[in-house]
Amino acid sequence: MTYRAPVPDIVFIMRHVAGLDRAVADGLYGDLSADLAETILDEAGRFANDVIAPLNREGDRVGATFKDGQVTTAPGWRQAYRAWTEAGWNALPGPVEYGGQGLPTLLNSACVEMWNAASMAFGIGPVLTMGAIEALASHATDDLKSRYLEKLVSGEWTATMNLTEPQAGSDLAALRSRAEPAGDGSYRITGQKIFITYGEHDLTDNIVHLVLARLPDAPAGTRGISLFLVPKFLPDGTRNDVRCHSIEHKLGIHASPTCTMIFGDHGGAVGWLVGEENRGLACMFTMMNNARLAVGLQGVAIAERAYQQALSYANERRQGRAIGAAESMSPIAVHPDVQRNLLTMKALTAAARAICYMTAEAIDRAHLEQDPARRKKANERASLLTPVAKAFSTDIGAEVASLGVQVHGGMGFIEETGAAQHFRDARIAPIYEGTNGIQAIDLVTRKLPLSGGETVRAQIASMRATVARLSKESTPAFGATAPRLRDAVESLDRATGYLLKAVSSNAQGEALAGATPYLRLFALAQGGAGLAELALAAQAQAAAGDGDPAHAGRIALCRFFAENIAVGAKGLEDTVMGGAGFLQDATLALAS
Amino acid sequence: MTYRAPVPDIVFIMRHVAGLDRAVADGLYGDLSADLAETILDEAGRFANDVIAPLNREGDRVGATFKDGQVTTAPGWRQAYRAWTEAGWNALPGPVEYGGQGLPTLLNSACVEMWNAASMAFGIGPVLTMGAIEALASHATDDLKSRYLEKLVSGEWTATMNLTEPQAGSDLAALRSRAEPAGDGSYRITGQKIFITYGEHDLTDNIVHLVLARLPDAPAGTRGISLFLVPKFLPDGTRNDVRCHSIEHKLGIHASPTCTMIFGDHGGAVGWLVGEENRGLACMFTMMNNARLAVGLQGVAIAERAYQQALSYANERRQGRAIGAAESMSPIAVHPDVQRNLLTMKALTAAARAICYMTAEAIDRAHLEQDPARRKKANERASLLTPVAKAFSTDIGAEVASLGVQVHGGMGFIEETGAAQHFRDARIAPIYEGTNGIQAIDLVTRKLPLSGGETVRAQIASMRATVARLSKESTPAFGATAPRLRDAVESLDRATGYLLKAVSSNAQGEALAGATPYLRLFALAQGGAGLAELALAAQAQAAAGDGDPAHAGRIALCRFFAENIAVGAKGLEDTVMGGAGFLQDATLALAS
């Protein structure tokens, strides 16, 4: 079973949940209409299905290979990447002045989902290039921009983000790489970086490394880190003093080379400062929302891929007889327990997609709104939602891929089936671009306090409003959707109040202890509200005479989420508000 | 980080939670005392640590290999297996009349956990041999017993279970392999079997296959299946007509060969009937409780292994500064979010261990009680607990292994670290020996109705009694343990009542729809009650003057489970009792 991009589902969520229609009506997206968006996504879906998806298995089997400092990508990857950039997909969200199409993050997010569903190992590369474009566009000198942006926007060159060092993973304060001014406006960079995605490869003729390093007189900690652009090949065509030392042998995304990079073995790699001295982290944070959202979209993507494969298998595989069936063996997709697995997969995927697309729309508004107050609000909403989009989507990506293995029974454990690859690939996304624990801490300690708590309270108010609209629906097909979602939103509200108090008082430990369950609780309420919007739109269209059976399916999916998944909210609330007792005796409990 | 068998924890749970002390006092276990049990487990732990655990990585890397019908196990495996049998470990639970030591299932279960924690791929082989011994001891003719049991008990030969065929996985009714009487008391078996664990290997000189097949005049469905013993080498030393066609390329347990077996390519493999004609499934069910418990123990084992590795990493890896710490970088094990992950891992592992060991003790009482009424009760308790022990333990095995990857951050995704292997290995256990969905259906449709519901009600009453004892504890260290556990048990009670009604009425669909969340709910309540027994015993010993800090740790662990994990019970209850609405529109929701 290969991938079929679910464009109708994607467009429906974009329009009716993430607010594409509203943004278009507000004139936010210029000439872009919902129809044009759908046309573009159809085209992207075809590319994902026909060109990228067929590479995924072989990419896993062969992987990227390393020899004598060179990385060779898997068979077919170079051609596919070139076809992809030539079709203009890398340039889709790029700035117009450097050859990009300047299309919204919301539209690109749907594309990012599709590239990554077709192949996560393929899709992660451009995520880094797009992040670098954003950092350079915001912070680089005009000279650097004119030298590098056009080729990065087209995808003729790719980019990397060089943060991690062996002793500095989540804790960038410990970073040791150094940069010395060369006197001619350039710097000489030395140091070792690990876990550099696509740090070396044969897809393009040049690679642009963005590297965090310390200047000689820099203060200790995170306030002494600067950002540098270090190309593989210098403008005069000579090789820079940077090389790939080795690539990692990983659990998944084998086709994506994860490199250890050595800068300055022979005197120092030539680099140029991006942004101000000692302000490197601020430059990185510019692109953080987008990159974290993109990794969240990887979670949605792998979940969708795993779901499609499991559904297809469950419709074909016959075992056991359905209740009341005449035939001796029924497709396993009719058995209630298998249906529960499949619906859990689909509902979690749709909820995560709703959250990610809402986040994308908030990022767009943060850039595009005319009114500064609305821009600030949108920016804070994007900041609030981003850690949820990243962590929840990648958590459910791994969970859904695991359910996908389970639906296949014994066949799921056999590598040739493909379900196992999704399970392996999915596992990286909760880790990279800030572990999900870090996301949860970011949400609780930095995002909840935004505007004195007003940002999160406004978000909860909007969930409440959605649920209130839903409670007015008397269609029996909704079942207990409204009360279940209301309970989830109220749990979120109470837990939010508790944590706001904790972060602003001396109860920092309690706040940190509750961060991960709180993020999940937030996602259940927000995802439920998103699916409620989906169901309400479906109901409105059905009521208006649209006979598409997909509408009834959307209502059923929302109901399943509310009655079977959102009901976990109370337990999470209890955990957040009453579970931190372990702070006292954790060391004893772990030692015993 | 290699494995260190946690013998003190294991012995404490055996004695105070699973009832070893009570069973010894009742005279159930003959000469076995708690001290002797501990001595044996110390010995087993040493063997697991020193001989088996070092094979695990290499076994994963090299795996079992197949060439020209032969399977070669990974380097060192043959020697380790021989050393293991020579030390008498295979014979530990075997019948005394065939050279076994006749030691209880409870004691052997602790050993099974340790072999599998040291290496799941190693541990799964003997599980099948022990199952076959049980089936033969109960059902085979004296002639077959005398020919085969002694060498299976010693481990000189291994055994396999040949159930699955390509079209018959969970649904054995669809089985097609045939057996024709040869006229001399033997049969000629033909057919293809898949997913046969250790179906071919080089550990021993002979392999005894137990094979399900149909006699010529057998009725269709499961009432027409018979069990046959088919050795690789016949008693006269000639090769039987059975061969390994290929082995699978799997996600994990690479060192355990998973074989496709062809019986009767050249006229039929020689076999002998075990038990009565057409009663093969009944013979298989004899060993089902034990084999399912053993797979549950694999879940506990891999969870323990993953936990140890994650804890060790978290104590060494320094990132970030702890709240109030003076040092610039603290071990990540002091950060609350990491503590939550580690405590979740440890608490789930301990809860699953408690359930598995309780199940083992019930199996022992079902065999050893003098009084038939007590035997029946114990047998029903074992039957009730077995699907919970299997499914919950293997589910949490996979979850804990995934958390183990997460605690390692980026290093977790690198194969050389080892966390990824546990994650891959753990994923098979929820699938084989009856998928966890099948376990849940078994629990709800066959086990709840035992003795008209009295068996499950007695079990719930016993959980209630434990929680009632706990509520009398006024030590502040218990926090909200008692009320949280009480809530969980009451949720279980209500959901049980609902399902008992559903299975006895026409609401079969509702019962099946709620099976999986019900099993989890059962495990949260039962696991919580088990940890409450643990905490009460620890409290009693501390009160009696035992200054071991492990006792405070045990209380903290129980509290963590109650306040952070058992709180999920209400959501599961809601799901069981209000989540089956999807039965009507699932097809629509999945199609849309």
CB-based contact B567:A571 (threshold 8 Å): yes
Residues of B in contact with A592 (CB under 8 A): 9, 549-554, 557
Residues A142-184: pLDDT tens digits?
Answer: 999 999 999 999 999 999 999 999 999 989 999 999 999 999 9
Residues B480-503: pLDDT tens digits?
Answer: 999 999 999 999 999 999 999 999
- Nearest by CB: A564 against B311, B579, B590: B579
**Identified catalytic residue from B134, B304, B399, B433:** B433
Q: Where are the domains of chain B?
A: 7-154, 158-278, 436-581
| Structure token digits, residue B576 | 């069981």
CB-based contact A592:B553 (threshold 8 Å): yes
Residue B409 contacts A where some CB pair is shorter than 8 Å:
yes
User: Do the chains contact at B575 and A567, CB–CB below 8 Å?
Assistant: yes
Spatial separation of the C-alpha atoms in residues A302 and A230, rounded to whole Å: 32
| Residues 275-334 in B contacting A (C-alpha not used; CB under 8 Å) | 311, 318-320, 323, 328-329, 333-334
Nearest CA in chain A to B575: A564
Q: Distance from A567 to chain B by nearest Cα, in Å?
A: 5
Amino acid at B468: A
Residue A488 contacts B where some CB pair is shorter than 8 Å:
no
CB-based contact A425:A252 (threshold 8 Å): yes
Spatial separation of the C-alpha atoms in residues A572 and A524, rounded to whole Å: 10
| Residues 80-139 in B contacting A (C-alpha not used; CB under 8 Å) | none
Query: What average pLDDT is seen over chain A?
Result: 96
Residues B303-337: pLDDT tens digits?
Answer: 999 999 999 999 999 999 998 887 789 999 999 99
* Whether the predicted interface score ipTM is above 0.95: yes
Superfamily of A7-154 according to CATH: Acyl-CoA dehydrogenase/oxidase, N-terminal domain (1.10.540.10)
Give me the total of CB pairs closer than 8 Å, taking one residue from chain A and one from chain B: 310
Handedness of CA A498, A503, A506, A507 (dihedral sign): positive
Mean pLDDT of A302-308: 98
Nearest CA in chain A to B317: A167
Residues of A in contact with B590 (CB under 8 A): 311, 333, 339, 342-343, 346, 553
Tell which residue, B434, B590, B169, has the closest CA to residue A341.
B590
Cβ count within 10 A of residue B267? 9
DSSP for B35-95 reads HHHHHHHHHHHHHIIIIIGGGHHHHHHH--EEETTEEEPPTTHHHHHHHHHHTTTTTTTS-
User: Do the chains contact at B339 and A586, CB–CB below 8 Å?
Assistant: yes
User: Do the chains contact at A590 and B333, CB–CB below 8 Å?
Assistant: yes
User: Do the chains contact at B590 and A342, CB–CB below 8 Å?
Assistant: yes
Which residue, among B400, B413, B484, would best test binding to A if mutated, counting the most A CBs under 10 Å from its CB?
B413
Confidence category of residue B550, pLDDT binned at 50, 70, 90 = very high
Q: What is the H or E stretch that residue A7 is in?
A: helix A7-16
A207-213 and A226-231 strand pairing:
antiparallel
Residues B236-253: pLDDT tens digits?
Answer: 999 999 999 999 999 999
Q: What is the H or E stretch that residue B158 is in?
A: strand B158-162
Tell whether the model's pLDDT for residue B592 goes beyond 70. Answer: no
Tell which residue, A357, A333, A361, A356, has the closest CA to residue A345.
A333
User: Do the chains contact at A557 and B515, CB–CB below 8 Å?
Assistant: no
Q: Distance from B587 to chain A by nearest Cα, in Å?
A: 8
Tell which residue, B443, B524, B127, B123, has the closest CA to residue B292.
B127
Residue A13 contacts B where some CB pair is shorter than 8 Å:
no
- Nearest by CB: A571 against B346, B571, B585: B571
Which residue, among A163, A165, A312, A340, would best test binding to B if mutated, counting the most B CBs under 10 Å from its CB?
A340
Spatial separation of the C-alpha atoms in residues B5 and B49, rounded to whole Å: 7
- Nearest by CB: A410 against B319, B406, B432: B432
Mean pLDDT of B250-257: 98
Nearest CA in chain B to A337: B513
Q: Which residues contact B220 (CB under 8 A, 6 or more apart)?
A: B173
Tell whether the model's pLDDT for residue A1 goes beyond 80. Answer: no
Mean pLDDT of A347-376: 97
Q: Please tell me the CATH code under which domain B158-278 is placed.
A: 2.40.110.20
Residues B92-139: pLDDT tens digits?
Answer: 999 999 999 999 999 999 999 999 999 999 999 999 999 999 999 999
| Structure token digits, residue B367 | 């065999």
Tell whether the model's pLDDT for residue B364 goes beyond 70. Answer: yes
Percent of chain A with pLDDT over 90: 95
User: Do the chains contact at B337 and A591, CB–CB below 8 Å?
Assistant: no
Query: Could you give the 3-state DSSP secondary structure of residue B318?
Result: strand
Residues of B in contact with A254 (CB under 8 A): none
Residues of A in contact with B555 (CB under 8 A): 585
| Structure token digits, residue B185 | 């008391």
Residue A588 contacts B where some CB pair is shorter than 8 Å:
yes
Residues A61-89: pLDDT tens digits?
Answer: 999 999 999 999 999 999 999 999 999 99
Residue B541 contacts A where some CB pair is shorter than 8 Å:
no
| Structure token digits, residue A552 | 């009834």
- What pLDDT shows up at residue A351? 98
Cβ count within 10 A of residue A217? 8
- What pLDDT shows up at residue A324? 82
Residue with tokens 């709620």: B514
Q: Distance from A232 to chain B by nearest Cα, in Å?
A: 25
At residue A239, φ and ψ (nearest 5 deg) are -75, 130
- What pLDDT shows up at residue A592? 66
Residues B195-230: pLDDT tens digits?
Answer: 999 999 999 999 999 999 999 999 999 999 999 999
Spatial separation of the C-alpha atoms in residues A54 and A43, rounded to whole Å: 17
Confidence category of residue B507, pLDDT binned at 50, 70, 90 = confident
Residue B402 contacts A where some CB pair is shorter than 8 Å:
yes
Same fold, B7-154 and B158-278: no
